[in-house]
Amino acid sequence: KNQVEQSPQSLIILEGKNCTLQCNYTVSPFSNLRWYKQDTGRGPVSLTIMTFSENTKSNGRYTATLDADTKQSSLHITASQLSDSASYICVVSGNYGGSQGNLIFGKGTKLSVKP
């Protein structure tokens, strides 16, 4: 069964600290993996997208890694800010169609950044 699992489920950190979110997937076929940031009540916004051959990709203070062999990805946030408080969702995409659609979602990690 195609699945994406994220950990931790929730995380509280102090402003200015770094953190790392994890994503493990058992999805085939694999097309690409995206990390989205979702503020409460809003649509997900893409942070990074990585294809099979990419190991690392950065977007400002966000750095995503991908190990296609172990089917693991991580999202590292540097020097956290209060505005980073949100849910971070890992999404794997491919040509699945049918009852799953083409996107397999993790349940997200809810990050709270405290002053």
Backbone angles phi, psi at 2, to 5 degrees: -70, 125
Q: Which is nearer to other proteins, 15 or 38 (CB)?
A: 38
DSSP state at residue 108: -
Residue 35 C-beta: closest distance to other proteins, Å? 11
Q: Is 11 in the site for other proteins (CB under 8 A)?
A: no
Could you tell me which stretch among 17-25, 63-71, 75-83, 96-104 binds other proteins (CB under 8 A)?
96-104
SS3 103: strand
Q: Is 97 in the site for other proteins (CB under 8 A)?
A: yes
- Give the residue, chosen from 22, 63, 85, 94, that forms a contact with other proteins under the rule CB under 8 A: 94
Pairing of strands 45-51, 56-59: unpaired
Distance CA 68, CA 44 (A): 24
Distance CA 1, CA 11 (A): 27
By CB under 8 A, what part of segment 33-72 binds other proteins?
34, 36, 41-46, 49, 51
Q: Which is nearer to other proteins, 15 or 30 (CB)?
A: 30
